[in-house]
Amino acid sequence: MSTDETSRFVRLKVELVLEVADAEALTGAALQRIAEDEVMPDEERGHAESAVQEDAAEAVAYLVDPLDLVGDVPGAELVQASWSSEQVDYDPDSPDWDLDEDDDAEDDEERG
C-alpha cells in the first residue's frame, strides 16, 4: 500500500488497570477537578460530585483525559476520544487478564 493509499487516522487502543491505594485522595482530586471545571453546568456538577463520592471508577474517569496521553505527540492532533472506567475483580495470574490476547486475535484476523 502506498503512502497515498494509507489513512491519515490511527486508532490507539489502551487498556489500563489501576489499583486504588488511597480512595480518599482519589475522590478528593476528582472533586477538586469538578469544582475547577468552569464550563460544567451546575446541574451536572452536582451529579458528578455524587458519582465520584460513590464510585472510585467514576473518580478515575473524571481525572483521566485522553488528551494528556497524546497532546504532545508531534505532528498529530486528537480528533475523537471516548473512555470509560469500571471497577473490576483483578487477578494478574489469571489468563483472563492477558492484555496481549486481543492483539494476537487481531493479528491472526489480519493475516488471513
CB 6 within 8 A of CB 32: no
Q: How far apart are CA 112 and CA 110, in angstroms?
A: 5
Instruction: Return the number of other C-beta atoms located less than 10 Å from residue 58's C-beta.
Output: 19
What are the grid coordinates assigned to 57, written together?
Answer: 471508577
Higher pLDDT, 57 or 106: 57
Q: Quick: pLDDT tens for 37-96.
A: 999 999 999 999 999 999 999 999 999 988 888 889 999 999 998 888 888 888 888 888
CB 34 within 8 A of CB 62: yes
Nearest partner of 15 among 111, 107, 96, 77, judged by Cα: 96
Q: Quick: pLDDT tens for 1-17.
A: 555 677 889 998 888 88
